[in-house]
Structure 1
């Protein structure tokens, strides 16, 4: 468990911010080393798309590069162009591929397009016919039915002796649909199909596994793995203890502590009627900050399914969300916290080392990926250096 409180003396802006986000770069580096070790003989890349899962591609990318990552995956070329300054010697793969009008951003920043459709392949062939040899990657669909060349087309391309000499894929890849469920037969089927692809493109590196697939074992590792959510401390596999270090803590400032009587209601719609005299901590976070309305303690359809609402952590105790989450405000029931232990200006942890990212996500009926990538713009950020 990461003790975030042990690290930096906060700057004034961070100390008084309505919303705070502490990103522990040391934990991210440690998680990458862990995933690299679990990848066995395969190299471990680093997936930093969506602004490094909401945590900042500049700081996170530089940290991972210094940790030893030399292969990175982003979603769009602008992310790759930003990353290039922080990972000067890395291979940067762009998962959404290349489209007309994007050639210069790829060439100027030495980005590798991931070709994932017949249309992209045709366009890419026209580009290299004019420019000459330039690396690319090929994404093959092995059953996901998302991005990827059809398996038959990929095998035909591999066997096509007439393809241009300037067509130089450096990686063939696919993606597991059910890697987070080790018992799913889909994993074995996709592995069998991807082996056909890997064999057909002999001499070209292969990659099948993201974070979850790495935990499936060496059969799934091939030449390159692509850890993503695990680097940021999130759960990659369902139903097992998460071995990764917590890497981020989100906090909201308590704006007011108020007393409320039994029988009174809380927040919009009056969906929570208090059964006892209560103390309520009103905190400066809401769905505009990615703290979703589904995290409400009552008054949303998800609560009818039996999934309980979110909890925060303050003064050494977990405290439940009271009533509905609103755009900028969430109310926590702190009645069971010792009196005077919570004061105006204190901070409630939304997720971090005491409430895990995925615990918070489950309360919203979602996953840690969405919690991180949905972080709003109002968090004051503090990056704890990897060396500390």
Structure 2
């Protein structure tokens, strides 16, 4: 296991505590599992190219480390959400991979994208014009993916914009159109009619755009079948162990384990108020443990959940605090849990999707919320 670092231009810059002794919690990221998840998705795609989505710092797990793991499996196309993410990733991975900026480039930022050799995802006629002018200034064609809105109403050119561009012979001058793409809104619901409606809309829209390889499938979209695969799939969540087929067994390996340290143990009598607001009162004598972990570390305050130790469930009591959570450890033998011991929050006893269910959210939010105060370990072997 390695301490987490960010490698930039040959330098090693420490981003998290060097020693687990300095941190209140430990986050272990299994890069071997990420590589296996990528292989499983590639097998499902049966020869179609597979990118890796690394937005939000690799879903909170470390974009540079995840990119290195995916590159070892032959992945050479990455997607991020923001220009700043793309610049950081380019510094980490070097000149080789293609890096696409999903949200498009903010007005005036095109020179930065050109300097970092990033590929724009063009979502509007205005962005297309700005990228065309950037190409003129650079004296060369600039790479891009053209995104059309096939029915999600979030990002991408509206059908009317696409139709207008179809009649403009010079619209794509100076643009190296590498992909035409769109994004599925309901892929995690395989029987939702919007999936087929979007696929058909995408067919109509791409027929009006420059001939180029096509991309539609996200993680769940890969499991909708080959008609959604086209030439490039763009999985994100599935790489990180989130179930792309909700309601069915997870075809992906778990990737993260999150453990928090016990800061203190105590015994309380019946009637004792517990935590902020005294939202819970002891119904009888209880043994408690306070762990060094809270909503500042990304554990949602509304989450009614538990930790585990020796396979025993230890329920949360009272409210989640900024830096601490109180556990009921009465089910453990007296004296079994000590200060400095680690309890498990994510891992074999509770998956990311389980934790999301307790919090009334999705696994994406659980991972993306994880904070920076952890000691991070990366399993490479």
160 and 239 in structure 1: CA distance in 2 versus 1, 3 angstrom threshold: same
Question: Are the counterparts in 2 of residues 315 and 342 from structure 1 also a CA contact under 8 Å?
Answer: no
User: Which residue of the partner structure matches residue 135 of structure 2?
Assistant: 128
User: Which residue of the partner structure matches residue 349 of structure 2?
Assistant: 354
State the distance in 2 between where 1:163 and 1:105 align. 22
The equivalent position to 1:365 in structure 2, one of 344, 348, 360, is 360
Q: TM-score, normalised by structure 1?
A: 0.89
User: Which residue of the partner structure matches residue 379 of structure 2?
Assistant: 384
Structure 1 runs, 4 residues or longer, greater than 6 Å off: 7-12
1:123, distance to aligned residue in structure 2 (A): 1.7
Once the two structures are superposed, the pairs formed by residues 1-388 of structure 1 within 5 Å of their partners are 13-14=19-20, 17-84=23-90, 85-86=92-93, 88-131=95-138, 132-158=140-166, 160-201=168-209, 203-295=211-303, 309-385=304-380, 388=381
Question: Are the counterparts in 2 of residues 71 and 90 from structure 1 also a CA contact under 8 Å?
Answer: yes
Q: 3-state DSSP class of the match of 1:282? A: strand
1:183, distance to aligned residue in structure 2 (A): 1.6
286 and 159 in structure 1: CA distance in 2 versus 1, 3 angstrom threshold: same
1:167, distance to aligned residue in structure 2 (A): 2.8
State the distance in 1 between where 2:127 and 2:206 align. 21
RMSD: 2.0
How many pairs were matched up?
367
Deviation string, structure 1 residues 49-69 (Cα, Å, up to 9, x no partner): 111111111111111111211
Deviation string, structure 1 residues 56-109 (Cα, Å, up to 9, x no partner): 111111111112111100112222222224253211101121234322322222
1:330, distance to aligned residue in structure 2 (A): 0.2
State the distance in 2 between where 1:103 and 1:25 align. 33
Q: 3-state DSSP class of the match of 2:367? A: helix
State the distance in 2 between where 1:166 and 1:238 align. 43
Q: TM-score, normalised by structure 2?
A: 0.91
Q: 3-state DSSP class of the match of 1:105? A: helix
State the distance in 2 between where 1:143 and 1:92 align. 25
Listed as ranges, the gaps of 5+ residues in structure 1 are 1-6, 296-308
Listed as ranges, the gaps of 5+ residues in structure 2 are 5-16
331 and 164 in structure 1: CA distance in 2 versus 1, 3 angstrom threshold: closer
1:179, distance to aligned residue in structure 2 (A): 0.8
State the distance in 2 between where 1:78 and 1:71 align. 17
State the distance in 2 between where 1:104 and 1:230 align. 33
Question: Are the counterparts in 2 of residues 180 and 237 from structure 1 also a CA contact under 8 Å?
Answer: yes
165 and 202 in structure 1: CA distance in 2 versus 1, 3 angstrom threshold: closer
Question: Are the counterparts in 2 of residues 46 and 227 from structure 1 also a CA contact under 8 Å?
Answer: yes
1:260, distance to aligned residue in structure 2 (A): 1.5
User: Which residue of the partner structure matches residue 8 of structure 2?
Assistant: none
1:16, distance to aligned residue in structure 2 (A): 5.8
Question: Are the counterparts in 1 of residues 3 and 376 from structure 2 also a CA contact under 8 Å?
Answer: no
1:352, distance to aligned residue in structure 2 (A): 1.8
1:349, distance to aligned residue in structure 2 (A): 1.0
275 and 213 in structure 1: CA distance in 2 versus 1, 3 angstrom threshold: same
206 and 164 in structure 1: CA distance in 2 versus 1, 3 angstrom threshold: closer
Question: Are the counterparts in 1 of residues 110 and 130 from structure 2 also a CA contact under 8 Å?
Answer: no
